[in-house]
Amino acid sequence: MNSGEIILAEAIERRSKNPSSSWLSTLVDSVASQVTDRLNPILVKEARQALKSRQFVVTFTLLLIAAWVWTLFEISMNMPGVYYTPLGGELMLGYYFILAVPMLVIVPFTSFRSLASEQEDGTYELLSITSLTSRQIVTGKLASAILQMVVYYSALAPCLAFTYLLRGIDVATICLLLFYTFLASVLFSAIGLVFAGFSTQRTWNAMVSVLLLLALAFGTFGWLVFLVDELYDELARVPLDAPEFWIGNLVAVTAYISYLVLFVQVAAAQNSFASDNKSTRIRVTLLVQAACYVGWIGFAFAQFGFEPQVPIVASFYAAFHWMIYGAYLCNEGDIVSPRVKRSLPQSFLGRMLLTWFNPGSGTGYLFAVATFGTILLAFVVIGSVFEVLGYQRRWGPNLGELVWGLAFLLAYYIAYLGLGRILLRMIPAWQRQVFLVPILLYVVLLILGVVTPLGIDAAISRNSNPTYSALHSSNWAWTLNEVLDNRSVPVAVYLLVLGSAALIFLINLIMATREIEAVRIATPQRILDEDRSPATDT
């Protein structure tokens, strides 16, 4: 039967059960039922819940009231100029700020609470034992957030149309502004869902709530400043005719998609069952993202000329990004589950190239180090090419300084990430389940690396203005600054930093042996039987 016949059959069945209902309402019910069958069940449930919830009603009402108050205030303040002065841009700015609060703070926080409260109340357990995968649950929550965004947009739609009528802002600017905000809200909601998976315990969740609210507040503030600064000057017109605008958008969209996919996968992995492969998809996404990142930076060089400062900034951003994901990967368990072992690569080439995508903290560490190292190497190669091609640099370090600077950055990355992994193994697995624990451990480690030598130096020399020496080898910030500024760094520092990195890498490599040695196991006969005849009734 096709969809039309199914709808008709269902309508007939419904009508036979309830003859008093009209044909039209029965048909509408049947169509609605067919449509919702194709939707994510979480979306259907959340929509039912959200539309009845007090929080939604209050937010929606406040949004409408704020929009009306702003409209009346702005019009009355500009009378009678409103008849001949373009006022749309100014009015739009106000609406935009009003919309930003529910879009960038309330909706993402609601997404976080929606998943966190399911875990606190035990309903997530009941949800997890249904046929829904953790990815479906997460995307359902995200879809529910998008539905709320659409409702908020529709509430302000008349006001937005009004701004266009008042002139001073074009349709493209209005649309882009709303579109960007929509994208930001979706990304913030995905981050909220990642935060919800940090812990299933109420006490930790309270702490995570505060952290997320702070992050959202800063994120919203930063977003508003960025958007108004970038898009809203020049008489509220976006530079649609400038190629840089579209190139920038292309880069932003690819970056956006990669992060959104990554966040959804991390949120899904955090909520999946223990024996599931929680890592391979994330690692593939990270690899694609790393390739894109190198591409963006390379393109920036080609477009705007060789600026050695650019790869340094890009490398530091990459170090920050890979430190967080490195911590995530190093926090994985050491044992490859039998379920994962069923699908491990078997051939020599497959094992050589794909083992680093297998779940496990050891392979995770090696994967993070290899990818981050490749990114830095790519920057060096790009820099060398530009040097060979004779591009004139205007400022920043020369290629030699850049190479040594990035080598030190990689060495610190290998050393701190590896040391953190060794320390993480000493914390019981159930305590490491709260992702804040590894993050805090790495933050403390990086701070101690800076503060400890400073403290020792101050205690020994009683000098409030210490000078750089081999004692400060663990101080990554100072050492990198010294290397990149081409100051003379003691040979002992080279030996200590690079030697420690090599030693820690070796220790971690040995610790990862068991994961690397894991081989494929046979799939149980019961699984094969069911896969051969999925409809078999037992």
Partner 1 sequence: MVVASHPMIELRRLHRFFGRTRAVNDISFTLEKGEVFGYIGPNGAGKTTSMRILATLDLPTYGDALVDGFSVVTDPDRVRKRLGFMPDYFGTYTNVNCAEYLDFYARAYGLVGRERHRALQHVMEFTQLDALAEKPIRGLSKGMKQRLCLGRSMIHDPAVMILDEPAAGLDPRARIELREMIGELASGQGKSILISSHILTELGEMCDRIGIIEKGELLAVGKVDDIRDQMGAKRDVRIRVLADAEKVVAWLQAHDEIHEVKQADSQIYYSHSGTRHEEAQVLAQLVREGFEVAEFASHERTLEEVFMHVTKGIVQ
Closest approach, Cβ 33 to partner 1, in A, equals 7
Query: DSSP per residue over 65-106, as a string?
Result: HHHHHHHHHHHHHTTTGGGTS--HHHHHHHHHHHHHHIIIII
With a CB cutoff of 8 Å and minimum separation 6, the contacts of 99 are: 63, 152, 153, 156, 181
DSSP type of residue 486:
T
Residues of the shown chain interacting with partner 1 in the complex, contacts defined by CB under 8 A: 6, 9-10, 13, 33-34, 36-37, 41-42, 44-45, 48-49, 52-53, 121-123, 125-133, 273-275, 337-339, 524, 526-527, 530, 536-538
* Residues 9, 213: Cα–Cα separation, whole Å: 49
CB of 488 to partner 1, least distance (A): 55
Collapsing DSSP states into helix, strand and coil, what is residue 69? helix
Amino acid at 415: A
Tell me how far, at minimum, the Cβ of 25 lies from partner 1, in Å.
Answer: 16
Q: At 230, which amino acid appears?
A: E
Cα gap 428→430, rounded to integer Å? 6
Cα separation, 529 vs 525, whole angstroms: 6
Nearer to partner 1, 200 or 473 (CB): 200
Q: Following CA atoms 365, 366, 368, 370 in sequence, which dihedral angle do they give, to the nearest 10 degrees? A: 160
Q: How far apart are CA 275 and CA 257, in angstroms?
A: 28
Could you give the maximum distance between any two Cα atoms of the chain, in Å? 94
Rounded least distance, CB 46 to partner 1, Å: 10
Nearest-Å Rg of the Cα atoms of the chain is: 28
Alpha carbon distance 374, 285 (integer Å)? 16
Cβ nearer to partner 1, comparing 13 with 244? 13
Q: How far is the CB of 277 from partner 1 (least distance, A)?
A: 12
Question: Three-state DSSP class for 437?
Answer: helix
CB of 23 to partner 1, least distance (A): 18
**Contact between 508 and 418 (Cβ < 8 Å):** yes
Q: What is the amino acid identity at position 265?
A: Q
- The CB-of-153 to partner 1 minimum distance in angstroms stands at 23
CB nearer to partner 1: give 128 or 452.
Answer: 128
Number of neighbouring beta carbons within 10 Å of residue 109? 18
Q: What are the DSSP calls for 196-230, one per residue? A: HTS-SSHHHHHHHHHHHHHHHHHHHHHHHHHHHHH
Q: Which is nearer to partner 1, 36 or 384 (CB)?
A: 36
In whole angstroms, give the CA distance from residue 154 to residue 148: 10
Q: Please report how many Cα atoms fall inside a 13 Å half-sphere around the Cα of residue 509, on the Cβ side.
A: 10
Minimum separation from the CB atom of position 195 to partner 1 (A): 21
**How far is C-alpha 45 from the chain's CA centre?**
26
In whole angstroms, the minimum distance from the beta carbon of 279 to partner 1 comes to: 17
Complex with partner 1: residue 462 or 526, whichever CB lies closer: 526
Q: Read off the tokens for 91.
A: 């009015």
CA-wise closest residue to 135 among 288, 34, 282: 282
The structure tokens 């006490």 sit at 203
Pick 239 or 524: Cβ nearer partner 1: 524
> Tokens in use for 231?
């898009």
For residue 270, the minimal CB distance to partner 1 (Å) is 16
Q: Which is nearer to partner 1, 348 or 430 (CB)?
A: 430
Q: How far is the CB of 69 from partner 1 (least distance, A)?
A: 29
Tokens of 471: 């004692």
Beta carbon nearer to partner 1, 34 or 78: 34
Residues for the chain: how many in total? 538
**Which residue lies nearer to partner 1 by CB, 29 or 170?**
29
Nearer to partner 1, 71 or 133 (CB): 133
For partner 1, which is the closer residue by CB, 136 or 205? Answer: 136
Q: Tokens standing for 278?
A: 């929680």
* DSSP code, position 473: G
The nearest distance, CB 202 to partner 1, in angstroms, is: 15
Q: Which is nearer to partner 1, 12 or 155 (CB)?
A: 12
